[in-house]
Structure 1
Amino acid sequence: MADLVHLTQERNAGRMLRSGVAPRSRGWFGERGVYCTPVLPSFTHTHQWARELRRWHPGVLVAVHLRIPDDEPVTVGHYGREPLRCSAAEAARLLRDIPDPRGHEVFVPRGLGSGEVRRVRRIPQGIGWRYQPDAHGRRPCACPACLPRGVFGAARVRERFSLDEPWATKPELMARLRAATTSDEIIEVLWGLGRRNRGGAEELAPLVEHP
């Protein structure tokens, strides 16, 4: 039997113990299933995804230990690259044997029943990597894809590392709107206002007179 670990928010733990793990994720080839990591000799490598997942799932994460047949069809590989189709036992062996398993994941293309859930375990919340496995010491990417609005600490990272010009304040944008004379200038200001708190329609009254 192959032993796997699935990380989830603590609030989901009771439901998974009672009913199993629903196939809520979508794999590389379009199937629905569950992302996991094999139980590896290194505790850190086994739970390596904790810090990265906490960027997207606030709150306490726990490890759900699973056990599936060795010949269970799964996919395995580094995230962002096409994975290999193999058995659960082969996937576990592959990640045990490679020098650096960081960034690798196993995908089980189905849900897991309650009988396959062995236990739920608390884990340290700061374990693993964030952004990418070798990100430590590198300049973080502040683009919206890597650092969406609302992520904890995102504004601070954007302020320090963004290559774009700082966003204009709303008073600055309104002054530019009043001074705008061409359609391109108006569109640029409206684009900037769309990223700020919206006010009343009366603020755009000057546009009524624009040809």
Structure 2
Amino acid sequence: MAMFVHLTSASNTQRIRRAGIRAESHGTDGARGVYCFPVLRSYTLTHQWLRELARFGSRGGLVAVHIRLADDQPVLAAHYGERKPSRLTDVPAAEAVRRIAALDDPRGWEVFVARAIRPGEVHRVRPAPQVSGWRYRPDAHGTRPCTCFGCRIRGEYGSQRLRERLPHPLDGPPPPAETLLARVAAAGDPGDPAALCDALYWFGMRRRGPLARLAHLAAHPDPAVRDALARAVGHWPSPGVAGLLDGLAGDPDPGVREAVEFVRAAR
């Protein structure tokens, strides 16, 4: 049996012990599964993703879930920052452990199991002190941090001073709300999905906005627009956000439902 560790929010502990680790969508291809990493001799390397995942927040901190997989369980192993040349596709779990352990520098590697983890495969769950690992990327210390909207963490300590000192040329302040609303109106009825998603992307950078004038997009026929709406307004403190998320939580599209779960966890 091959041993792996999966890092997750402590608030998921009881559900994992009862029902295992559910498969979630990851990446642009929508693949569903669970990320984990082999248990190596080095505690630091085994838990290398701790500090990076802690940047995105968690309820009650992070815990390490040790899971046992059959040696012949097919998995995908890859370095998160590289493409096909560094991928091991559909290799047995035991072989993925052997190859990653043999690397001179296994930092940044990850293993993807394309299914849920069953309760019987959960070996143990224990607290994981968030002091090990790297942030941003391996060897990032001493390099200029990225302040783009995708990399920065809302509310992270010192993030406002960092953005003021190192403004990103492509993710500057969002346009005024009225300008964005004009774009939404110009998209038509029900509206061009690309134009609406672009406007909602900029709305997502705002701390609050005119929810009442965007709520109708929850009925848009394109699930990409409903997904973008949930992610854009989910962190707003505006009255009515909770009700809108409640409605989208029952959306027929699984991607929209996962977007709601994501923003609710972030709240």
TM-score range, shorter chain: 0.7 to 0.9
Shift of 1:198: 5.9
The whole-number CA distance in structure 1 between the counterparts of 2:207 and 2:115 is 42
Evaluate the alpha carbon distance shift between residue 196 and residue 12 of structure 1 in structure 2; reply closer, same or farther with a 3 A threshold.
closer
Q: Which amino acid aligns with 2:63?
A: V
Q: Hey, what does 1:176 align to over in structure 2? A: none
The whole-number CA distance in structure 2 between the counterparts of 1:36 and 1:98 is 17
Q: Hey, what does 1:182 align to over in structure 2? A: none
Are the aligned partners of 1:13 and 1:120 in contact in 2 as well (CA < 8 Å)?
yes
The number of equivalent residue pairs is 176
Are the aligned partners of 2:10 and 2:58 in contact in 1 as well (CA < 8 Å)?
no
Shift of 1:84: 1.6
The whole-number CA distance in structure 2 between the counterparts of 1:39 and 1:16 is 19
Q: Which amino acid aligns with 2:160?
A: A
Matched, 1:73 2:74: yes
Q: Find the residue that maps to 2:100 and give its secondary structure.
A: helix
Q: Hey, what does 2:162 align to over in structure 1? A: 157
Evaluate the alpha carbon distance shift between residue 28 and residue 79 of structure 1 in structure 2; reply closer, same or farther with a 3 A threshold.
farther
The whole-number CA distance in structure 2 between the counterparts of 1:126 and 1:57 is 14
Shift of 1:166: 8.1
Q: Which amino acid aligns with 1:105?
A: E
Structure number with greater Rg is 1
* Higher fraction of helix: 2
Cα RMSD of the aligned pairs, angstroms, is 2.7
The whole-number CA distance in structure 2 between the counterparts of 1:70 and 1:105 is 17
Identify unmatched segments of 5+ residues in structure 2: 177-201, 211-267
Matched, 1:93 2:98: yes
Shift of 1:56: 1.7
Are the aligned partners of 1:61 and 1:125 in contact in 2 as well (CA < 8 Å)?
yes
Matched, 1:112 2:123: no
Q: Which amino acid aligns with 1:147?
A: R
Tell me the TM-score normalized by structure 1. Answer: 0.74
Are the aligned partners of 1:27 and 1:107 in contact in 2 as well (CA < 8 Å)?
no
Matched, 1:84 2:85: no
Larger RCO (CA under 8 A, 6+ residues apart): 1
Evaluate the alpha carbon distance shift between residue 135 and residue 20 of structure 1 in structure 2; reply closer, same or farther with a 3 A threshold.
same
Q: Hey, what does 1:10 align to over in structure 2? A: 10
Matched, 1:64 2:44: no
Alignment of 1:196-211 (within 5 A): none
Identify unmatched segments of 5+ residues in structure 1: 171-190, 200-211
Which string of whole-angstrom CA distances, capped at 9 and with x for unpartnered residues, describes residues 44-88 of structure 1? 110111111112233400000000100000000101324321110
Q: Hey, what does 2:264 align to over in structure 1? A: none
Matched, 1:132 2:133: no
Q: Hey, what does 2:41 align to over in structure 1? A: 41
Shift of 1:195: 4.8
Which string of whole-angstrom CA distances, capped at 9 and with x for unpartnered residues, describes residues 33-53 of structure 1? 100000011101101111111
The whole-number CA distance in structure 1 between the counterparts of 2:207 and 2:21 is 40
The whole-number CA distance in structure 1 between the counterparts of 2:207 and 2:124 is 46
Tell me the TM-score normalized by structure 2. Answer: 0.59
Shift of 1:124: 1.3
Give % identity.
51
Between stretches 3-12 and 81-90, larger displacement belongs to: 81-90
The whole-number CA distance in structure 1 between the counterparts of 2:114 and 2:209 is 43
Are the aligned partners of 1:51 and 1:125 in contact in 2 as well (CA < 8 Å)?
yes
The whole-number CA distance in structure 1 between the counterparts of 2:17 and 2:208 is 43
Which string of whole-angstrom CA distances, capped at 9 and with x for unpartnered residues, describes residues 83-105 of structure 1? 32111011101110001111100
The whole-number CA distance in structure 2 between the counterparts of 1:75 and 1:48 is 19
